[in-house]
Structure 1
Amino acid sequence: MRVLQIIDSLDAGGAERMAVNYANALGDKIEFSGIVVTRKEGVLKNQLGDKVAYYFLNKKKVIDFKAIKLLKNIIVKNNIDILHAHGTSFFTAFLLKTICFKIKIVFHEHNGDRSNQSFFKNLPLFICLFFFRKVLVVNKQIESWFHQIGIKKASYFPNFASLESNDTQKTFLNGQEGKRIVCLANLREPKNHSVLIKAFAQLNLKEEGWSLHFVGKNHQDFYSENIIKLTKELNISDCVSLYDSKSDISNILSQTTIGVLCSTYEGFPVTLLEYGLASISVISSNVGFCSEVIIPNKTGLLFKSNEVDDLAFNLNKLVNDIGLRTILSTNLNTLVRDNYSKEKVVSSLVSVYKTAINEV
């Protein structure tokens, strides 16, 4: 079997990390595993394994004939059976299908807010879906929504996390050991970093030696400017650090005590699985698939999205109870390894590919 993942960039986002994870994991399982990036390279390129073939299209516009022709050449040269399109790359995959009829396309929807978008915003996707063999979605809610609009070939497919890396980058977190709170999320909506800043300040954790660390793409825009402004207004700027995109996630989490996810919506956040593999205690907003991974008072704590007081209440519980942190982190690690292991998910994915290839 010969499979090519396609993704628009290799910035450190959820869909991008999953595309890299699949490419790496398949390298040991199938005859050929590759990944093609359409628009922009990024820090995740450093995480690609030696057995993964890498290609870059350098696509400059929505319909870029030169890029599509290059993609077709890659498909033909490597005799690709399956093109696995992640997120917004679905349109490039569709364009390829118009000139490369035999290719089988599996589309992977990572957008947890898809069902809340307007019909007209989703219309390009609806049209393209008719040309795809399989549609994989990251939680049951999105699966149900696809079925309701008549896309019966959509099915839920779990993510998995991997902290394996070939990267030599070494990030050192500021702050006191044992008192670091990390949020792995790009600096943009709907990641909602401000609610964590407010909760941190409300608990006066600065005076207790705790520090806050945001690891994710910083676009140097209005969103990040507001974060910096808020930390100054609340007089905690000296204990809040922004690190931009990083690829040495395992190294970063080894320096972390508490992991937080604050999003107002999510599909299936890989971040929670990474927190689990790193055996740190977790607080998450109760959105998307999060409650399937974070079981209150068993594998972590949940708070109502966008409610500062609720987050502060739960954060205070973890900060002041080492025993609770140990129990939650151990249970989460066990849940992730038992239910979202690389071996189990990749085996299921290979079965999906085989079905797509054999369908008439």
Structure 2
Amino acid sequence: MRIVQLIDSLETGGAERMAVNYANALAKKYTFSGLIATRKEGLLLGQIDEKVSYLFLKKKKSIDLKALFKLRKYLKKNKIDIIHAHSSSFFSAVLVKLTLPGVKIIWHDHYGISQDLTLRKNISLKLGSFFFKGIISVNTALQNWAASYLFCSNIIYLPNFIEQSVHSNEKLALFGSEGKRIICVANLRPQKNHELLLKAASLIRDKFPDWSFHLFGKDFKDSYTERLNEMVVELKLQDTVFFYGAVKNVGSALQQCDIAVLPSFSEGLPLAVLEYGLYKLPVVATNVGEISKVITSEKEGKIIESNNSSQFIEAIQILIEQEELRKEMGLNLNKKTLLDYSEETILKKYVFWLQSSPNFVLRKPIKK
């Protein structure tokens, strides 16, 4: 089985991290696993396992012939069976398939705004799906959407998974008091609803002045970021809320924090919640996407309604006041994460799907 992951960038988004996770996981089990970035590299470059065959295409436009032939040459040289294309990279996969009809395409849908998919229209994706041999959806809503909209019937729901290995031993220096830190891992995009977090931080600060909020995620330097910075000043949160941007070793930050939050308007299946579980953190998150399938009871975390400020503040306050509850929740979520969302669990389902589907006629796999 010779599979290459295809992704447009290696910045710290969910789709990008899953492309790296799949490449690394397959490299542990098979003699070949590849990863190709089409347009941009980024922080995740340093998290690619040394056993993974890596290529950067430096694609500069939608149809870049130089990049296309570079991709074709790589696929032929490495005798690739399957291109596992994540998100928008399907376009490059379809173009190269026109020159290499024998290669199979899997498309992995990581779409994060899955609250109302009736508005999701993508003609190029719909046409491209004629060439897909399989589709992976990260939640059941996306699976149903693909079945109704795209021209491919071989669709599987596979949740995201996390790698348990730590890629960096470098310790991040965090602000705030030890034992009194709240973390949020989410790129600075409107659907992540950091505004709710800042409003909550203002009220929490008044009652628990020693507690602080630590926000990790890419800053796109846009109007949304400007608004967040304005709110920090307006609410006088300069000594309570700290922005760190995207970092290589967010695990170091998670190890130093005591409560984790995710106040999103919309999600698919956020890797952040799985990471919170991996590091045994109690979680307050909104009831969007597949979050309620990860946190299924009050013993595993606190689920609130989207954009409900009073519920959000109350849930955080309860966790601040009850240290034993924090520990219990963190341990329960950790057990759930390792059981249902581990690399081993999801990869087993992935490989079984490939080997059992008539759409994939593969060379005999050689296990390491």
TM-score bin (small chain): over 0.9
Aligned to 1:2: 2
User: TM-score, normalising length from structure 1?
Assistant: 0.95
Distance in 2 of aligned mates of 1:72 and 1:356: 25
Output aligned runs, 1:322-337, within 5 Å. Answer: 322-337=323-338
- What is the percent sequence identity of the aligned residues? 41
Aligned to 1:292: 293
The letter for the 1-side match of 2:75 is I
Output aligned runs, 1:52-71, within 5 Å. Answer: 52-71=52-71
Q: Following TM superposition, by how much is the alpha carbon of 1:129 offset from its aligned partner in structure 2, in angstroms? A: 1.0
| 1:245-288: CA deviation from partner (whole Å, max 9, x where unpaired) | 11212211111111111111111111111110101111111000
Output aligned runs, 1:240-259, within 5 Å. Answer: 240-259=241-260
Distance in 1 of aligned mates of 2:115 and 2:312: 26
The letter for the 2-side match of 1:15 is A
| 1:12-64: CA deviation from partner (whole Å, max 9, x where unpaired) | 11111111111111111112011000111110111111111111011111111
Distance in 1 of aligned mates of 2:284 and 2:323: 14
Aligned to 1:43: 43
Aligned to 1:222: 223
User: TM-score, normalising length from structure 2?
Assistant: 0.93
SS state at 1:190 partner: helix
Distance in 1 of aligned mates of 2:167 and 2:353: 28
In 2 relative to 1, CA 35–147 (structure 1 residues): closer, same or farther, beyond 3 Å?
A: same
SS state at 1:204 partner: helix
Q: Return 5+ residue gaps in structure 2 as ranges.
A: 362-368
Q: Following TM superposition, by how much is the alpha carbon of 1:357 offset from its aligned partner in structure 2, in angstroms? A: 7.2
Q: Following TM superposition, by how much is the alpha carbon of 1:349 offset from its aligned partner in structure 2, in angstroms? A: 1.4
Aligned to 2:82: 82
Aligned to 2:283: 282
In 2 relative to 1, CA 46–300 (structure 1 residues): closer, same or farther, beyond 3 Å?
A: same
Query: Is 1:95 equivalent to 2:100 in the alignment?
Result: no
The letter for the 2-side match of 1:192 is N
| 1:69-117: CA deviation from partner (whole Å, max 9, x where unpaired) | 1111111111111110111111111111111111111110010325735
Is the 8 Å Cα contact of residues 82 and 357 (structure 1) preserved in structure 2?
no
Is the 8 Å Cα contact of residues 115 and 289 (structure 2) preserved in structure 1?
no
Query: Is 1:159 equivalent to 2:160 in the alignment?
Result: yes
Aligned to 1:187: 188
Is the 8 Å Cα contact of residues 138 and 159 (structure 1) preserved in structure 2?
yes
Aligned to 1:174: 175
Aligned to 1:27: 27
Distance in 2 of aligned mates of 1:55 and 1:170: 29
Report the more deviating stretch, 150-159 or 228-237. 150-159
Is the 8 Å Cα contact of residues 215 and 244 (structure 2) preserved in structure 1?
yes
In 2 relative to 1, CA 337–120 (structure 1 residues): closer, same or farther, beyond 3 Å?
A: closer
Distance in 2 of aligned mates of 1:223 and 1:115: 21
RMSD between aligned alpha carbons?
1.8
SS state at 1:164 partner: coil
| 1:147-195: CA deviation from partner (whole Å, max 9, x where unpaired) | 2336432221121112423335432211111111111111112111111
The letter for the 1-side match of 2:323 is I
Aligned to 1:11: 11
Q: Return 5+ residue gaps in structure 1 as ranges.
A: none
In 2 relative to 1, CA 355–57 (structure 1 residues): closer, same or farther, beyond 3 Å?
A: farther
The letter for the 1-side match of 2:39 is R
Query: Is 1:351 equivalent to 2:352 in the alignment?
Result: yes
Distance in 1 of aligned mates of 2:197 and 2:114: 25
